[in-house]
Structure 1
């Protein structure tokens, strides 16, 4: 089995998706979203872009 280094992009992506899931879980339990959809949708898109950017940067430094 090949030994691999630490991948920060995976950690950032996992934390991002946990945060989004927590928002939706809180909204489901409360009966309404704690954040308006007009704010949440662009934040999700920006967050996905940032996690992709972190993955690209960390891949460059590992090589």
Structure 2
């Protein structure tokens, strides 16, 4: 492979941004913060009736973002 084609291949890989990782990380950090606040407080920081649907909706959003950006992750490799 020539040096020029290696450089152009490398520059194509660098240009993309995959939002799936940051979205997933942010979701789990917020979730961990909610559980930590619940554990450290005397009562319930977030009611179970609210927390369970929020967790399922958040997992759905994370899964949707990962599915929608799957082709982008393949191109970044």
Count of aligned positions: 61
Aligned to 2:54: 43
| Alignment gaps of 5+ in structure 1 | none
TM norm structure 1: 0.80
TM norm structure 2: 0.67
Q: Which has the larger radius of gyration?
A: 2
Deviation at 1:59, TM superposition (A): 1.8
Which among 38, 50, 68 is matched to residue 27 of structure 1?
38
| Alignment gaps of 5+ in structure 2 | 1-12
